[in-house]
Every structure is written in structure tokens, then in C-alpha cells.
Amino acid sequence: MANLTIRPVRSKADEKLFIRFLWDIYKNDPLWVPPLMMDREKLIDRKKNPFYAHSDMELFLAERDGKVVGRIGAIVNHNHNKEHSDKVGFFGFYEAVDDQTVANALFDEAKKYLKSKGMTEMRGPANPSVNDEYGLLVEGFDRSPVVLMTYNPKYYIQQFETYGLKKLRNLYAYILSQDTVYSERFLRFNEIVKKREGLTFRPINMKDFKGEVDRIKTIYNKAWAKNWGAVPMTDAEFDALAADLKPVVVPELIIMAEAKGEPIGFALSLPDINMALIHNKNGGILGGLYHLYTKKKKIDTVRIIVLGVIPEHVKTGAAGVLFYETAVRAKKLGYKYGEASWVLEDNIMMNRAAEMMSGQRYKTYRIYEMAI
């Protein structure tokens, strides 16, 4: 522990140190996708990010002899605790060198902060919430992360578990291929459900973007209300997310599901822009835009980020048809693969739908928790 200190992030210079430490950990990892610095700055900006209107967060840096060797965030999401009647504090933005002493000191500091706020459990990683990047990669280290998914060294598993954090839930990622996704059984199933439920599907109307966002917001907060760990997004959070995603959305890949003319579900998929951003080594915005422009045609994968229907239609098979409609539209646009992520390990309907489309479970992420 000699010469190891933990201190809070207090300035813009500290925030840059906090973000740039990523490059120290991953600079020699060919699978890592450097984030855009601008996006990381926005994510931890406690004045501008609407998440912090209802949440508290403290960021910490671990330093040894003046050099950053780790970082962590401690988060109290008051909306989560109100929604679930919990006293759960979260940790996130975790990065550390391969040294258990550093890991222990970081977790101790996060735990101390959360206890001071009256929390009784520490859960994570959440960066900073369930509606952002979530979970620790524990299986599937042979592939780069897709857009808005986490990535980490394998030794973090040992650091977490040696400290005493226990598995709470696994989150699955499935890879789907246009070569294997279609089957006669699945096609028959889709036609039966569409006819029986009076389902129709359409892409979002970009000319009515605000109206479409409002419709999606209503469906999202209703459809995910009872999901484990889910927290309804505030209007400000939803609007900020929509504004961030608007430049990269493909309208045909945001699909509205309607039953007899009434909106009952939606699917949101994004091209895996990480396939371009992996070449943007320094995380600059101009370099990112250059690689997105010049490598757009090489992106052959989409990520199915959100897909679901309101509770009244959960058992109708409509979600499975949304999977199918996503695949059909992605194929027309030339995409060969899709990642469906993430899916809770105990979400029977969604796991079944992914398997029905010959999806291969190829990555696992984990949420940990411990009493504090």
C-alpha cells in the first residue's frame, strides 16, 4: 500500500486524467475500441448529463508515486432506489492495473462513500446506470465490443471476486447471422402471430422525430417497468439520448410495432460503429468522423440494443416477430450479422426468441453485488 493514494476528482484536469487512464490500460490491446473523448466527457459531466439531476456521484483516482494506477466511480441513483425500494449504491467506470492492492483500495473508497450516503449494498459495474454501459465482461474475450457495450481485461474478474463481490445476474449477448437466422418453422411462426394479433411494422418517421421519440418513450417506460433493475428514464434523459443517437441511426432499423393501429412495441438497432472507431486510436472527434465516413461500408454488423413490447403483448409472440422484422430489414441494407445484447439470463421469452433465430450466445457480462 506504500505510496498508494486515493483522491476524488475535483477539476477538469482531473476528469481528463480519469478518462485518459483508459489508454494506459488498453493501449496494447488490439480488440479495444477507443471511445470518443467528447462522449466520455459528456457522460461524467455532472452539470450537463441529465442523469445527475436525480443521482449523486463521486469519482476517484488511485495514484502511486504520482502516476494514475486506477479509477472508480461511486453512484447513488435515487430514482433506482425509489423505483425498487432499495438502498443500493452503484460503482462504475472501474479500471485498474493488475494489482489487487489497487483494486481493494478503490473498492474501499467507493464503499465508504456509498455507506456515507446510507446505502446498504454496492452493485455494479454501472457506467453510470442500467440505461448506459452495464456489466463486466466475463466470457467472450476474443472479439471487440460492439457499440455501447463494455470491454475489460480478464483479470478484473479475479479482482472483483477476491474483494468479495458476488455474482448477482448474468447478461447475455447473442450473435445472429443472416445465413442461419431464417427457418421454415420461424417463418411460419411469424406469419401466424402477425395475422392473429393484427401486427404491422414500420420504420420511424425522421420528419416527425420528436413525435416518434415521445411514442417510443411511452412504450419503453411501460414495457420495461417490471424488468429486473430497470429504471424509467426521465424526459430529459430520454431526449438527451435521442439527440446523441440521431446522427448515427438508420431509420429502417428503428421499427415500430403496431397492433390494429396502436403502438405496442419497438426495436432499436444501430450499426456497429465500433468497427470504424477501433481505428481512431486517440479518441479525437475529427478522427472519429473521418473513420466513420471512410469505413461506413465495411460495417457489416448491427447491435439490437432495445427490443420489446408492452406487458399486454408479452405472451403473444410479438417480440419474436420484431426480431424477425429486424433481421429482414438489416439484410436489405446489407448487414450480415447482428448482436442482440444484452439479455438477462432469466428473461425466458427473449432468450427463447434469440435461440429460435439460431442465435449463438457468445458473450456474457456480469453484475456483481456485496453487502456494505
CB-CB contact of 272 with 336 (8 Å): no
Dihedral class, residue 288 (left if φ above 0, else alpha if ψ from -120 to 50, else beta)? alpha
Q: What is the pLDDT of residue 301?
A: 98
- Distance CA(129)–CA(106), nearest Å, equals 19
Strands (E), the chain: 4-8, 55-64, 67-77, 88-96, 121-124, 126-127, 133-134, 136-139, 166-177, 199-203, 254-259, 262-271, 301-309, 337-344, 360-371
Output the CA–CA distances (angstroms, integers) from residue 358 to 185, 304, 325, in the order listed. 12, 15, 15
Q: Which residues contact 285 (CB under 8 A, 6 or more apart)?
A: 36, 37, 38
Q: Which residues of 161-198 are buried (b: 16+ CB within 10 A; e: fewer)?
A: eebebeeebbbbbbbbebeebbeeebeebbeebbeebe
Least confident segment among 60-64, 69-73, 232-236: 232-236
Q: With bands split at pLDDT 50, 70 and 90, how would you rate the model's confidence at 180?
A: very high
Q: What is the pLDDT of residue 349?
A: 83
- Distance CA(260)–CA(363), nearest Å, equals 37
Q: What is the pLDDT of residue 342?
A: 95
**Segment (H or E) for 111:** helix 100-116
Mean pLDDT computed over every residue of the chain: 95
Q: With bands split at pLDDT 50, 70 and 90, how would you rate the model's confidence at 314?
A: confident
Mean pLDDT to the nearest integer, 192-221: 92
Q: What is the pLDDT of residue 184?
A: 86
CB-CB contact of 135 with 365 (8 Å): yes
CB-CB contact of 94 with 40 (8 Å): no
117, pLDDT greater than 70: yes
Q: Which residue has the higher pLDDT, 170 or 184?
A: 170
Q: What is the pLDDT of residue 227?
A: 83
Q: What is the pLDDT of residue 283?
A: 97
Domains in the chain, ordered, with CATH? 4-170 (3.40.630.30), 175-364 (3.40.630.30)
Helices (H), 181-310: 184-197, 209-223, 235-245, 274-277, 285-294
Q: With bands split at pLDDT 50, 70 and 90, how would you rate the model's confidence at 183?
A: confident
Phi, psi of 250 (to 5 degrees): -110, 115
Mean pLDDT to the nearest integer, 331-356: 93
Q: Which residues contact 90 (CB under 8 A, 6 or more apart)?
A: 74, 75, 76, 77, 80, 122, 123, 124, 125, 126, 128, 129
Q: What is the pLDDT of residue 2?
A: 63
- Distance CA(144)–CA(135), nearest Å, equals 15
- Distance CA(159)–CA(96), nearest Å, equals 9
Peptide bond into 50 cis (omega under 30): no
277, pLDDT greater than 60: yes
Q: What is the pLDDT of residue 260?
A: 86
Mean pLDDT to the nearest integer, 329-336: 96
Q: Whats the size of the chain, residue-wise?
A: 372
40, pLDDT greater than 90: yes
Q: Find, among 133, 91, 136, the residue nearest to 109 by Cα.
A: 91
Residue 3 burial (CB count, 10 A) = 9
Please report how many Cα atoms fall inside a 13 Å half-sphere around the Cα of residue 29, on the Cβ side.
Answer: 18
Q: With bands split at pLDDT 50, 70 and 90, how would you rate the model's confidence at 32?
A: very high
Q: Which residues contact 29 (CB under 8 A, 6 or more apart)?
A: 153
Least confident segment among 40-44, 82-86, 143-147, 226-230: 226-230
Q: What is the pLDDT of residue 153?
A: 98
